[in-house]
Amino acid sequence: MILEFSFNYLSSSLIYEKIILNTLGVFFLESKIIKSADNLFLYVKSDDSDELESFANRLSLELPHSIFLHNTDVKVVDEMPQESSALPLISKLPMAFCPKCLREVMDELNENYYNIFHECEVCGYSVEGEKKSYKDDFVNLAKSISDGLVAEVNTFYGKYFVGQLGKKCNEVDFDIISYDLATIAHYTNATNSEMAALGAIEKPFVKLKTNIKFKMDFEDVADELIRFKLSDDFVLHLLLHELHKLGINLIFITKEKLPSDVKFDLEEYEKELEPIEVVIGDNHIAIVRGEKGLPYQDLANSNDLIPHIGAFFSVIKEHSLFDKTVAGVNISKEYHNNILVYSKKFGTISYLSLWFKFDSIKDVFDSIISSNESGKKLVENFKNKFPEHYEAISVITFNEEEFNVYKLWGIVSIVLGYSKETNLFKAAKILEDSASSFLGTKGPRIDYKLKRVDSKVYLDPLMTIRTAMSFKLAQVDQLTLSYGVIESFVEFVSSQLDDIKEEMKSDAVVVTGSLLQNRHLFSKLSKEVSVNHKLYFNKELPIDGKNILYGGNELF
């Protein structure tokens, strides 16, 4: 009998291949491994069906879930393939513990019980230390934290300050480490897809809305968007295990220095690594930032292309789309936003620019007034309804070299009175956070319209601002209206991509840029665009791609 195991695995890390080889070493089976693009195939053959069953069961225990794993299958086939793949040599990645090492470290009868330096050829950090049980150290550390102390802790990838949630983390930006997934489910609105990602071997951060209440500045704070994750090295895992026994299932973690009462430095990390943060939809996962557990991607071959072009082509390269007609949506917070179309036949063209320019809020109001009679009436009504607010924001000026969609949201946030900030980035973040806190399913329809200037087509920002003002006058609440601003933008993008497919017969859609880190935007885009298009994001690279430039001038 021959079994074929197949994995749609969008990573070059070789974690799965290594685990498969280790597991094969325990059995006497004829086998072959074939890697074809994003698909990994394993063939095993034996006349003993019980041995094949034992192998399959063992492999299912050894293989961890991964954020890069999309589909798996196993079936009986008639014959072994003739070819096989030679696996490339790769150095060990700094990776969270694998299932095998975790079982051994948590087993009281195993020689590696509570040994933080335990690792194998699949996982670990290649850090040397005395191989012994460190249980007493973790018992004492957990007791200190349960007493309300802050600990300075060396993990295998950096130094952090950790402690119980409360006033001591008031003055710093912090994340939350959870004992288990059940605790995260209890305190957040994480979706099933987000829960699956949190439990993956990469142990990513996921930004979630939480109902946790704790004291900050002597006021209860809840419903914040905070990054959550599970422990991703043995130091944090064993600490949380001991804290759990004391009734503590969540701790804060920060790199910002805090007055610490306890130092825990059993090991010296070789290199500081930033854990990855991901954003998740029902159909896709994208990396927001970070590097821990990711293979190095050598795409930075030149520095002669502007960042949004480089990010676009990094996705094309990762997914081997050079022979396709590809629509690209670049929606960075920092850079120029536009929609591109690439084809091997005609090169790269700019299909739509999302650029605009205003000098001040007064310039915005004056432009709306001069557009038509209804625009004039809208501004008059807005001024009469909110006279003090109107006068206060009319003096705000902008010193921006370039505007984009995120800065448009900043203008909307200021005009609607959501932000007292004159900085468009800070103002946009308030609108963005408001949208992320929205728990409904539908917001008001905000207009994103096009205008033609000479031979080029641009986004008309006035229509977006005007409709937002109209809903403000209609007393739509901040969370609902903020969500409508973002939701309507996704619907606008989806409509433009449908037009491109109709006009230019596009085969695929690539989306890049830091706007994707918005949870609602990414989820809706993943769902909406996937209905009519094959949608691609970077596989092992951050979504913004500002340091990733593809040196392929021949493509233009």
The pLDDT value given to residue 500: 96
Do the domains spanning 2-77 and 279-355+495-555 agree at the CATH topology level?
Answer: no
* pLDDT tens for the chain, residues 1 to 556: 999 999 999 988 889 999 999 999 999 999 999 998 899 999 999 999 999 999 999 999 999 999 999 999 999 999 999 888 777 765 677 889 999 999 999 999 999 999 999 988 889 888 889 999 999 999 999 999 999 999 999 999 999 999 999 877 877 899 999 999 999 999 998 999 999 999 999 999 999 988 887 544 434 444 568 999 999 999 999 999 999 999 999 999 999 999 988 999 987 788 899 999 999 998 899 999 999 988 755 444 433 444 456 788 989 988 999 999 999 999 999 888 999 999 999 999 989 989 888 999 999 999 999 999 999 999 999 999 999 999 999 999 998 888 999 999 999 999 999 998 889 999 999 999 899 888 888 999 999 999 887 777 889 999 999 999 999 999 999 999 999 999 999 999 999 999 999 999 999 999 999 999 998 899 999 999 999 999 999 988 888 754 333 333 333 2
The pLDDT value given to residue 308: 56
Nearest Cα to Cα of residue 428 among 470, 482, 365:
482
The pLDDT value given to residue 225: 81
The pLDDT value given to residue 21: 92
What DSSP assignment string belongs to 454-494? TTEEEEEHHHHHHHHHHHHHTT--HHHHHHHHHHHHHHHHH
Q: What is the dihedral of CA 521, 522, 526, 527, to 10 degrees?
A: -40
CB 250 within 8 A of CB 503: no
Q: Which fold has domain 99-272?
A: DHBP synthase (3.90.870)
Q: In what order do the strands lie in the sheet with 2-9?
A: 30-36, 39-45, 2-9, 69-77
Please say whether the structural domain 279-355+495-555 has been given the CATH code 3.30.420.560.
yes
The pLDDT value given to residue 29: 94
Q: What is the DSSP letter of 179?
A: S
What DSSP assignment string belongs to 41-96? EEEEE-S-HHHHHHHHHHHHHHPPP-TTEEEEEEEEESS--S---PPPP-PPP-BP
Please say whether the structural domain 2-77 has been given the CATH code 3.50.50.60.
no
Extents of the domains making up the chain? 2-77, 99-272, 279-355+495-555, 361-487
Residue matched to tokens 């696996």: 87
Q: What is the DSSP letter of 305?
A: S
The pLDDT value given to residue 551: 34
With 0.75 as the threshold, say if the pTM is over it. yes
From the centroid of its chain, how far is CA 448? 26
What DSSP assignment string belongs to 101-157? HHHHHT-TTSTTTT-TT---SSSB-------S--HHHHHHHHHHHHTT--EEEEETT
